[in-house]
Amino acid sequence: MTSANPQKIAILSTYDKTGLLDLAKGLTKNNVRLLGSGGTAKLVREAGFPVEDISAITKAPEMLAGRVKTLHPVVHGGILARNLESDEKDLADQKIDKVDYVVCNLYPFKETVSKIGVTVPEAVEEIDIGGVTLIRAAAKNHSRVTILSDPNDYPTFLEELEKGDISERSRQLYALKAFEQTADYDTAISGFFRSHFAGEGLQQMQLRYGANPHQKSASAFMTDRNLPFKVCCGAPGYINLLDALNAWPLVKELHAALDTPAAASFKHVSPAGAAIGTPLTHSERLVYMVDDIDGIDTSPLARAYARARGADRMSSFGDIIALSDEVDVPTAKIISREVSDGVIAPAYAKEALEILSKKKGGKYLVLQIEKDYEPSPQEFRTVFGITLSQHRNDAQILPKDTFASVITPKDAVIPEPAARDLTVATIALKYTQSNSVCYAKNGQVVGLGAGQQSRIHCTRLAGDKADNWWMRFHDRALNIKWKKGTKRPDKSNAIDMLCSGVIPQSGIEKEDYERNFEEVPQPFSQEEREAWLAELKDVALSSDAFFPFIDNVFRAGRSGVKYIAAPLGSQNDGAVIETAQKLGITFSEQHIRLFHH
């Protein structure tokens, strides 16, 4: 070859031959010299178009059963050369001409490995080396070279070529597509080999199934390091990990913000309860069914989980538990007797792990996570085949900073217990499906409304749960005479029906309710409910976004809310703040919206 030759040059090396002959016809019509590899050159030649083998310029035959064809300095020097004096000299010295167009697509690796029972040797044969190198070289030098990696682009390319040359914008878009293709190709290859070679529990972990049992192909993996957790017992499913990996950062952040061990009870990617390990009163031990747990007085972690689980026992049924600290025996004993799917924590005391490993006949899920693991700041999610990306929500919620901006009453300061409870509520919201509103008291969530389309429905749902929680402290609920042998889930359900006022009035449903008791408790009258709920005071409430209407404030006030933290930004902010002031509620502006999906 000679650098003085003004004729444009195209290299053709394709597995997918769709549209190739029409492209060759158009290139030939525009006086482009065609160089082809292997079967590509053969097809073009048999169609009657002038084409030379790559060996015509490399002076080297294809070798190793066709695995080496285009990997040669003459090929890649011609592709990578720029319009620089030094590059022109190098080309002239080596008698190399520039390449202007590269048409290339790759062996069907993804299609091959998608077949049932494909072996590693079979997959290896479909790993393209020369093609990927051609594509990347041409895409890198897209300021001068046009790369066509998708047959769908041939017609628009030829239309532009007929008008003179390929625009810079088109070369950029073709290069982007080329890089996306090689990235996807490499991802498929690494995924295949990860599943075969990485080892269970290292970079990739096979899951029992996806969101539903019929979604059998499911895994958890990382591309840049080993998984930051290990399975001590049981086998995780897809939703188990969604819950665990949302619950763990919640308790980690709670402990960091309030310097106290924390726990969360998670169900369907939202917390049913979250708490720190503040001391328990005698009544709280009874309500949370932990009055017989030895060592709970000296275990802040056990107290935290008792609160997290006890806030909404109905929603916590079958939960995933997150614990901020090493799991001790008192905490393990609480977990051992509740219906739960699994636990995630940074460490386990030997005896505690032995207790948990016996749960569910040895199938209880126990995950141990690296305490210092920090995820990438960028996170990705694929929905309907489309990948979304965002910066991870790494906003810090700290009591001294987050709730310092008090709007009403003027010059007010939020007391430390209220700031603590607002912190618990707000960090819980950070990991709750939006829209969401959270009520907190005594260092724990007492009512949470998650995933509602309407803000008022969040507030009502969370408020109803807070009311239900408080009704459980009434003497009538504390002193129920249970029939011997009544199971804990049945007790929880019966208490919930009594305290929420939905006792069945007749039929087999009433019989099923009453069978739990030695003495059936009297239902609460409306007057009794109102009188008892009037005793609920100093509740903290946080909202993941602004309150658009004053009905939210009215509903919050009926459940003893004294402190509200919410972002501003509604056209109705003035009326909301004014209503809070009239009700004697302290309103703090929480400056960060905390939507979570």
Query: Quick one: which of 349, 365, 331 has its CA closest to 263?
Result: 331
**Bridge-based pairing state of the strands 365-369 and 386-391:** unpaired
| Phi, psi torsion values for 232, nearest 5 degrees | -90, -25
Residue 257 lies in a domain: yes
Residue 505 lies in a domain: no
Do residues 189 and 267 both lie within one domain? no
As a whole number of angstroms, the distance between CA 280 and CA 300 comes to 10
- Helix, strand or coil, per DSSP, at residue 119: coil
Which strands, in side-by-side order, build the sheet including 262-267?
229-233, 365-369, 340-345, 319-323, 262-267, 270-276, 444-450, 436-441, 539-543, 561-566, 586-589, 406-408
Residue 480 lies in a domain: no
- Between helix 416-430 and helix 238-258 the angle, nearest 10°, is 160
Do residues 423 and 314 both lie within one domain? no
Query: Which CATH number does the domain housing residue 422 bear?
Result: 3.40.140.20
Do residues 267 and 389 both lie within one domain? no
Number of domains in the chain: 3
Per-residue pLDDT at 201: 52
- Helix, strand or coil, per DSSP, at residue 291: coil
Residue 501 lies in a domain: no
Per-residue pLDDT at 199: 59
Query: Which CATH number does the domain housing residue 23 bear?
Result: 3.40.50.1380
Q: Which residues pair with 12 in a beta bridge?
A: 36, 103
| 67 and 13 Cβ atoms separated by less than 8 Å | no
Do residues 258 and 395 both lie within one domain? no
Residue 218 lies in a domain: no
How far lies 284's CA from each of 296, 536, 574, in Å?
12, 14, 38
**Residue for token pair 């969101």:** 211
Do residues 445 and 469 both lie within one domain? yes
Do residues 63 and 148 both lie within one domain? yes
Do residues 320 and 434 both lie within one domain? no
Residue 159 lies in a domain: yes
Per-residue pLDDT at 3: 44
Do residues 27 and 115 both lie within one domain? yes
As a whole number of angstroms, the distance between CA 220 and CA 217 comes to 11
Do residues 175 and 313 both lie within one domain? no
- Between helix 154-162 and helix 20-29 the angle, nearest 10°, is 10
Report, as residue numbers or ranges, the catalytic residues: 140, 268
| Phi, psi torsion values for 201, nearest 5 degrees | 85, 0
Is the Cα torsion angle 134, 139, 144, 148 positive or negative in sign?
positive
Question: Last residue of a domain, which of 344, 369, 394?
Answer: 369
Tokens of 204: 């990739």
If one counts every other C-beta atom within 10 angstroms of the C-beta of residue 402, the result is 23
Query: Quick one: which of 284, 207, 225 has its CA closest to 446?
Result: 284
Do residues 428 and 565 both lie within one domain? yes
Tokens of 191: 């995924």
Tokens of 578: 């004014």
Its domain, for residue 121, covers 9-196
Query: How much is the pTM?
Result: 0.84
How far lies 545's CA from each of 405, 577, 597, in Å?
16, 15, 14
Q: Which H or E element spans position 406?
A: strand 406-408
Query: Quick one: which of 546, 287, 268 has its CA closest to 441?
Result: 287
Question: 156-160 long-range contacts, Cβ below 8 Å, gap at least 24?
Answer: 157/23, 158/22, 158/23, 158/26, 158/27
- Helix, strand or coil, per DSSP, at residue 199: coil
Is the Cα torsion angle 67, 73, 78, 81 positive or negative in sign?
positive
As a whole number of angstroms, the distance between CA 208 and CA 181 comes to 31
As a whole number of angstroms, the distance between CA 228 and CA 222 comes to 9
- Between helix 73-80 and helix 85-94 the angle, nearest 10°, is 160
Do residues 291 and 245 both lie within one domain? yes
**Spans in the chain with pLDDT lower than 50:** 1-5
| 270 and 320 Cβ atoms separated by less than 8 Å | no
The per-residue b/e assignment along 182-202, b for 16 or more CB within 10 angstroms, e otherwise, is beebeebbebbbbeeebeeee
Question: Last residue of a domain, which of 326, 341, 369?
Answer: 369
As a whole number of angstroms, the distance between CA 550 and CA 559 comes to 15
Residue 203 lies in a domain: no
Residue 57 lies in a domain: yes
Rg of the chain, C-alpha, whole Å:
33
As a whole number of angstroms, the distance between CA 532 and CA 193 comes to 63
Question: Last residue of a domain, which of 150, 172, 196?
Answer: 196
| 367 and 389 Cβ atoms separated by less than 8 Å | no
Which residues, including other chains, have CB under 8 Å from residue 431's CB and lie 6 or more apart?
246, 247, 249, 250, 264, 270, 271, 596
Do residues 33 and 99 both lie within one domain? yes
